[in-house]
């Protein structure tokens, strides 16, 4: 202990002083009794002993530890050791919490993926009218393309405006479904476009693999994926897989059409409410073209490439 060492140092210094006094007395006695030669020897020896004693006392004094400073340093060291141990335990706890969070996050991501796949499967199997969430809607509308009708592919009974934004029935009713194709066909990727049908009672929207036909057959076979409205009441999804009559709760005036070529899917949405209406399945054999028919019962136009809004 520091206190004990200080006491021993003081005691040793005291003993050195006593020894020095004794040595000095012995030397003086010999100096008085012996001859001068012996006295010199004793004087030298005594001086050496006295120097050694004084050196020991000085060394002992110089190596004394400052008790209070040492205790303060010891307390600081113990405090640092305690703080280091606390930080070590806290670090271990945080590492464990981080691992638990990562594991929970991975589990949550897996659950989200499973739910997304289940939702896709539900839509595929039921074609339920499901609201498109923000992320899904933005991803789809980011694939927006400006579809321009090609007048060279239009039926003689149709008129395409100069800017390609309007398709209107203006001729004689020689065909039930006169049509026009978009200028560009698609062989890959995702593409989205919008068409305003307004309150028209007859129209057809979709895609076709027939670049030279200027009208749509009453009963399309291979190469057509269509949505058809008749007399403002009967809405039918048409493809080579068969026709599916849809029950729409209310009329849709702006339709969104989304082509996922690699996925083999053509989906239709109410572009004003984001509700998914129906999806037709591919796959698509080769190049497909957007196709439009305003019908042949009224002069109301189809308005193509309506400005996309993130409703």
In sign, the C-alpha dihedral spanning 115, 118, 124, 127 is negative
Average pLDDT across the chain, whole number: 81
> If DSSP codes are grouped into helix, strand and coil, which group holds residue 34?
coil
Task: Please give the pLDDT value at position 298.
Answer: 87
pLDDT in tens, 88-126: 999 999 999 999 999 898 888 888 888 877 766 665 554
Task: Answer whether residue 303 shows pLDDT above 80.
Answer: yes
Order of strands, edge to edge, in the sheet holding 158-160?
158-160, 166-169, 302-304, 190-196, 254-260, 265-270, 275-281
Q: Averaged over 143-155, what is the pLDDT?
A: 94
Q: How far is CA 77 from CA 74, 80, 88, in A?
A: 5, 5, 16
Q: How far is CA 134 from CA 137, 140, 274, 275, in A?
A: 5, 10, 9, 12
Q: Alpha carbon 135 to chain centroid distance? A: 13
Q: Averaged over 151-158, what is the pLDDT?
A: 94
Task: Answer whether residue 175 shows pLDDT above 70.
Answer: yes
pLDDT in tens, 11-41: 666 666 666 666 656 556 655 555 555 555 6
Q: Averaged over 204-218, what is the pLDDT?
A: 93
Task: Please give the pLDDT value at position 138.
Answer: 87
Q: Averaged over 75-83, what is the pLDDT?
A: 87
Name the phi and psi angles at 27, rounded to 5: -60, -45
Task: Please give the pLDDT value at position 251.
Answer: 78
**pTM score, two decimals?**
0.60
């Amino acid at each position: 202990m520091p206190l004990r060492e200080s006491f021993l140092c003081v005691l040793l210094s005291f003993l050195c002083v006593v020894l020095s006094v004794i040595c000095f007395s012995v030397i003086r006695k010999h100096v008085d009794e012996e001859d001068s030669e012996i006295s010199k020897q004793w004087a030298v020896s005594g001086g050496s002993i006295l120097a050694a004693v004084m050196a020991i006392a000085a060394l002992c004094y110089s190596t004394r530890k400052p008790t209070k400073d040492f205790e303060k340093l010891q307390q600081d060291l113990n405090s640092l050791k305690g703080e280091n141990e606390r930080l070590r335990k806290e670090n271990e706890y945080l590492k464990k919490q981080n691992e638990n969070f990562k594991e929970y996050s991975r589990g949550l991501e897996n659950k989200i993926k499973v739910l997304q796949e289940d939702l896709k499967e539900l839509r595929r199997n039921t074609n339920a009218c499901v609201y498109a969430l923000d992320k899904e809607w933005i991803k789809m509308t980011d694939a927006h393309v400006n579809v321009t009708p090609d007048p060279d592919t239009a039926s003689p009974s149709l008129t395409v405006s100069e800017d390609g934004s309007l398709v209107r029935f203006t001729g004689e009713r020689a065909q039930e479904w006169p049509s026009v194709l978009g200028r560009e066909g698609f062989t890959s990727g995702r593409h989205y476009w919008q068409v305003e049908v307004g309150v028209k009672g007859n129209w057809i929207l979709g895609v076709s693999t027939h670049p030279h036909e200027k009208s749509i057959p009453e009963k399309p076979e291979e190469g057509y994926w269509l949505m058809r409205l008749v007399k403002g009441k009967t809405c039918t999804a048409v493809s080579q897989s068969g026709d599916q009559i849809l029950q729409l709760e209310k009329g849709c005036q702006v339709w969104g059409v989304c082509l996922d070529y690699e996925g083999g899917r053509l989906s239709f949405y109410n572009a004003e409410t984001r509700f998914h209406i129906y999806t037709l399945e591919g796959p698509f054999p080769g190049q497909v073209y957007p196709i439009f028919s305003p019908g042949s019962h009224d002069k109301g136009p189809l308005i193509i490439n309506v400005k996309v809004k993130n409703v």
